[in-house]
Amino acid sequence: MGGIRVAVAGVGNCCSALVQGFHLYRSAGEPVGIIHEAIGGYTVSDIEFVSAYDIDRRKVGMDLSEAIFSEPNRAPRFSVPPKLGVPVLMGPVLDGVGGFAKDLIDVADAEPADVAGGLEAKGVDVLVNLIPGGSDEASRFYAGAALEAGCAFLNATPTAIASDASWAERFEAAGLPLAGDDLLDQVGATVVHMGLLEFLNGRGVQIDESFQLDVGGATESLNTLERTREQKRSIKTAAVARSVPYAFPLVSGSTDYVDFLGNSRDSFFWVRGRCFGGAPFTMDVKLGTVDAPNGGAVILDAIRSLKLAADRGMAGTILPVSAYAFKNPPERRSLAEAYALFRSFIGA
């Protein structure tokens, strides 16, 4: 079968957790935190990072194994990868630096690399887009580079790529798989909110109102506050609304930034409803998570699934992967439906 050659755009906190997890789970005797040990025969050990792109001076030119621990990254260290022989190359700046985050990013004074040419030269199978949310122009640039280089594209950002019919058609015409948009974390606020409401609806409860709020200290929370708050609220609310077959007042995804929280995030859920005999109830739940590792297991599944799709000659937006791993797929499913669709796709 061979391996899976992976390139990463954006060497931030999420990338740090992903690369650390890649090293940890290659040798872990007990793979705690992994959702699927094998997908289509591919394990974590089959993944190979071969290229990386960023724009920060403190990362560009460094080996990927070292750049993931550079400022302004705040992801916890749970693994120390050896040198990978993968220097971080300068990517295009475009709209990659927002006004709120400009003091955190030290843009390198370097010419951007030939991304498409580099991906093709490295024989990349999957390009993973982990650049900051709100960088729509830069996300579209990397999607175009994947098309030009002939590799699959995994879009973890809220920018509409997999959910945009024109992009899906371009990838289908090129014979390349695509998945996205906006990663659905392993134990993130959106998936927990969906799970709570699906559970209550399944127990015959009438849900009258619900909201979910986030407070985080990572750069992504700062970017969300400035550039994607309304976009992410719309995406998350639409995703959560799919959990219940009737409409009710719902807000999911209002975000604020608190610097000293570091890479942690606190999510607050509130539900008001009625159960048997019209008896009222309210529910207050707080979820505390470490932001960066929350996406690692899902990204590892998505990478391997896109390679499996390529092996099968599939192209365009891969719905089973997108519905399972992302908040804004082209067609939304409930958690249970999406998981069943994905398991059927991977033959589990």
pLDDT for the residue 202: 96
Mean pLDDT across the stretch 37-65?
A: 97
Q: Grade residue 96 by pLDDT with cuts at 50, 70 and 90.
A: confident
Q: Grade residue 287 by pLDDT with cuts at 50, 70 and 90.
A: very high
The whole-model pTM stands at 0.94
The mean predicted confidence, pLDDT, of the chain is: 94
Range of lowest pLDDT (68-77, 222-231, 288-297) = 222-231
Closest CA relative to residue 105, chosen from 37, 168, 54, 179: 54
Range of lowest pLDDT (81-85, 220-224, 344-348) = 220-224
Could you read off the pLDDT of 105-116 as tens digits, one per residue?
999 999 999 999
pLDDT for the residue 255: 78
Q: Grade residue 43 by pLDDT with cuts at 50, 70 and 90.
A: very high
pLDDT for the residue 1: 61
Cα distances from 152 to residues 5, 130, 164, 209, 326, in angstroms, run 11, 14, 16, 40, 16
Range of lowest pLDDT (219-223, 324-328, 332-336) = 219-223
Could you read off the pLDDT of 170-219 as tens digits, one per residue?
999 999 999 999 999 999 999 999 999 999 999 999 999 999 999 988 77
Q: Grade residue 103 by pLDDT with cuts at 50, 70 and 90.
A: confident
Could you read off the pLDDT of 220-272 as tens digits, one per residue?
777 777 667 788 888 889 999 999 999 999 999 877 888 898 889 999 999 99
CA angle, 151 then 348 then 167, to 5°: 30
Produce one character per residue of 289-328: b if its CB has 16 or more CB atoms within 10 Å, e if not. Answer: bbbbbbbbbbbbbbbbbbbbbbeeebbbbbbbbbbbbbbb
Q: Which residue has the higher pLDDT, 257 or 277?
A: 277
Could you read off the pLDDT of 9-33 as tens digits, one per residue?
999 999 999 999 999 998 776 788 9
pLDDT for the residue 262: 87
Q: Residue holding tokens 């799709």?
A: 309
Q: Is there a contact between 75 and 13 (Cβ–Cβ < 8 Å)?
A: yes
What residue ranges define each of the domains in the chain, with the CATH number in brackets? 4-184+294-346 (3.40.50.720), 189-291 (3.30.360.10)
